[in-house]
Amino acid sequence: MARTVEGTASAVDDTRPLPPVITGSAGLEVRRTDDLAVVGPAATAQPPRPGGPGTSAQDRPLYVVSSVMTIVSIMALTFMATISVIGGVRHARDQQTAFALLRGQLATGTAPVTQTDAKGRLRPLGTPVAVLDIPQIGLREVVLEGTTSGVLRSGPGHRRDSALPGQEGVSVLMGRQAAFGGPFHEIKRLRKGQVFTVTTGQGTATYRVIGVRRAGDPAPPLVQAGKGRMILMTAAGGDWVPQGTLRVDADLVTTQKPGERPAPTVHDSGPRPLTAASLPLPERPLQGEPGVWVWVLLLTQLLFAASVAVTWARFRWGAWQAWTAGGPLLLAIGVALSAQVARLLPNLM
């Protein structure tokens, strides 16, 4: 029987069986189909998936470096989102929750008016104590007890060694300039003579601004006995690079309310438990919370283990498969780690 091979000039009589596939030196492949042998290009092997099975040992270090840079970039973006966009959403949510709680307490007459509860214990950090309303800058915020970096993520905080708003003496409220919603970002725009109000369990108090000052500016005269003053405090300088503090001083123009005093000998509701000397360091201006280092280290170890697992999966499965499976886990760890790292930063930032 005659068999014809494409690409030759003549037919050749040959009764010998042809092998199924013959590959020539020129890269042509002869395939047997019934009684005809067809010449065509040889099939080429598919390259391995990037970073997947079949990756050469020479290329593996490049993929390791690529994975590390990708993970570091994800963590950096996650941190910036945590203190800005995600932080703003968290601040708004916490404010709604705090306002709902305080509104109920104001309606029932159980809102806090002292640093301690009925059993003499200090109120927990983050307890809602007042509503600050400054219409000139569009500010309406629930004030929380305490001024740690963690508390100020949720809104302005009342410095616990000072009088509560509306009471006799000096009341200090601290708030963030930029991160987590930056509620005190615009207080630098306040001008002398402008008034604002603070509502507590003792009623609504009105304050009149007497000046805005930064480090090195002269301080206002000391508050007179029986009078009240409020100091609004935030970071000065760039939004994300705090350089000292900015203070807004305002005098109480309505009748002051009785409150705790720092001296135990003369008081209305009892001595103030915390004084300037006993105030914990994390509650002072531009301080972080060193106590969260334990969580930072634990989450960092967890992040390292997850990163190793994702890199290993990239070599076993391929890049897309590894990131699809490990990306959400890395993102969740990154958000948790960023939230703790943010507490190490200055509380007024």
Query: Please, what are the domains in the chain?
Result: 82-282 (2.40.260.10)
CA–CA distances in Å: residue 196 to residues 55, 120, 193, 209, 298: 67, 32, 10, 8, 44
The structure's pTM equals 0.78
| The pLDDT value given to residue 77 | 94
| The pLDDT value given to residue 315 | 81
| The pLDDT value given to residue 61 | 77
Q: CB atoms < 10 A from the CB of 315, how many?
A: 18
* pLDDT digit string, tens, across residues 102-118: 999 999 999 999 988 88
- The confidence band for 263, taking pLDDT boundaries of 50, 70 and 90, is very low
- Among 6-20, 55-69, 146-160, the range with the most confident prediction by mean pLDDT is 146-160
Cβ atoms of 190 and 136 closer than 8 Å: yes
- The confidence band for 16, taking pLDDT boundaries of 50, 70 and 90, is low
- The confidence band for 50, taking pLDDT boundaries of 50, 70 and 90, is low
The secondary structure of residue 25, as a DSSP letter, is T
- Mean pLDDT, to the nearest integer, of 225-250? 94
H-type alpha helices, the chain: 60-83, 85-108, 293-317, 319-342
Cβ atoms of 142 and 155 closer than 8 Å: yes
- Mean pLDDT, to the nearest integer, of 278-294? 95
- Mean pLDDT, to the nearest integer, of 47-68? 64
* Mean pLDDT over each residue of the chain, to the nearest integer: 84
* Percent of the chain whose predicted confidence (pLDDT) is above 70: 79
| The pLDDT value given to residue 277 | 87
Phi (first) and psi of residue 251, to 5 degrees? -95, 145
* Percent of the chain whose predicted confidence (pLDDT) is above 90: 62
- Mean pLDDT, to the nearest integer, of 309-336? 89
| The pLDDT value given to residue 246 | 98
| Residue 314: closest CA among 46, 58, 68 | 68
Contacts of 8 (CB under 8 A, 6+ apart): none
| The pLDDT value given to residue 266 | 35
- Among 109-123, 128-142, 214-228, 297-311, the range with the most confident prediction by mean pLDDT is 128-142
| The pLDDT value given to residue 14 | 52
User: What single string gives the DSSP state of each residue in 70-110?
Assistant: HHHHHHHHHHHHHHTHHHHHHHHHHHHHHHHHHHHHHHHT-
From the number of C-beta atoms within 10 Å of its C-beta (0-12, 13-18, 19+), residue 45 rates as exposed
* pLDDT digit string, tens, across residues 142-198: 999 999 999 999 999 999 999 999 999 999 999 999 999 999 999 999 999 999 999
| The pLDDT value given to residue 181 | 96
| The pLDDT value given to residue 31 | 53
- Mean pLDDT, to the nearest integer, of 224-230? 93
pLDDT greater at residue 301 or residue 56: 301
Predicted confidence (pLDDT) at residue 33 exceeds the cutoff of 60: no
| The pLDDT value given to residue 47 | 54
